[in-house]
Amino acid sequence: MSAVVVVHGGVWAIPEDLAKASVDGVKAAARQGSSVLKGGGSALDAVEAAVRAMEDNPAFNAGHGSALNADGEVELDSIIMDGRTLASGAVASVKNIANTVSLARAVMEKTSHVILTGRGANLFAESIGMATVPADELVTENEWKEWDKQKNYVAGVMEDFNSQWAHDTVGAVAVDSDGNVACATSTGGIRNKMVGRVGDSPIIGSGAYADNLSGAVSCTGHGESILKVTLARLILSHVEQVNGNT
């Protein structure tokens, strides 16, 4: 069984001047994930490492470099899932955390819950000693400029996919040498989203899903559309049908 990690840095019409940073970023993230796997690490460790690398990279809409909501703040969503046990951890609408994929993993491993949201998620982060970062550290100058230009969200969505304004969600899937699969997805969400808007990313079956019996998927794109079709779970159900294990 050969170990594999696959990452994505978002789907949108990436402009020329950002293209190199994006491609360099996903390559670096894939390398991070790969070295974890080569060292005998688990699929979970690999996807977390890959997504952390992209959260730390301001070229992507996750962690550092996230989009701003309607109030000019950063609210972050993440999910991680273990295909062996179907255990999952997710956080939604979290503030001032640089690596929400790791917070999502802590929800999975240190609580009996799957999702924590808002203030509750931040309180949990505090309780496990996860460092907070000042909000402006997560926001790039370019993001402030674009946010300002794009106060109207509806116009923004159409432009995002027809032109070059948006960044997008990041994610990774992996299978390790034991045959275990895992996935992780992380995002700052859509620029100018309503306060408290939660997209597909932290929603199990939509933003991501992993099952040793069929595989793992991490999604990116228009969150509300991904939710309507529970995209990650849909893709794996097609795999299940071909495998005959439904």
- List of residues contacting other proteins (CB under 8 A): 75, 85-88, 92-93, 111-121, 123-124, 153-154, 157, 193-199, 203-206, 209, 223-224, 227-230, 233-234, 237, 241, 246
Beta carbon of residue 193, minimum distance to other proteins (angstroms, whole number): 7
Q: At what angle do helices 43-55 and 16-38 cross, to 10 degrees?
A: 150
Please tell me which residue in 85, 111, 132, 169 is annotated as part of the active site: 169
Closest CA to 12 of 181, 223, 163, 204: 163
Cβ(96)–Cβ(167) below 8 Å:
no
What's the token pair of residue 97?
């955390």
Given the complex with other proteins, which of 89 and 171 has the nearer CB atom?
A: 89
Closest CA to 46 of 210, 221, 199, 188: 210
Beta carbon of residue 228, minimum distance to other proteins (angstroms, whole number): 4
169 is catalytic: yes
DSSP 77-131: EEEEEETTT--EEEEEEE-S-S-HHHHHHHHHHHSS-SEEEHHHHHHHHHHTTPP
Please give the single-letter amino acid code of residue 65: G
Measured CA to CA, the distance from residue 176 to residue 118 in angstroms comes to 33
Given the complex with other proteins, which of 23 and 86 has the nearer CB atom?
A: 86
Given the complex with other proteins, which of 142 and 243 has the nearer CB atom?
A: 243
Neighbouring C-beta atoms of residue 119, cutoff 10 Å: 11
Beta carbon of residue 117, minimum distance to other proteins (angstroms, whole number): 5
Beta carbon of residue 190, minimum distance to other proteins (angstroms, whole number): 9
Distance linking the first and last C-alpha atoms of the chain:
23
Beta carbon of residue 12, minimum distance to other proteins (angstroms, whole number): 17
Given the complex with other proteins, which of 35 and 246 has the nearer CB atom?
A: 246
3-state secondary structure of 75: coil
Closest CA to 91 of 123, 46, 59: 123
Neighbouring C-beta atoms of residue 101, cutoff 10 Å: 31
Given the complex with other proteins, which of 11 and 87 has the nearer CB atom?
A: 87
Bridge partners (DSSP) of residue 173 are 6, 183
Catalytic positions: 169
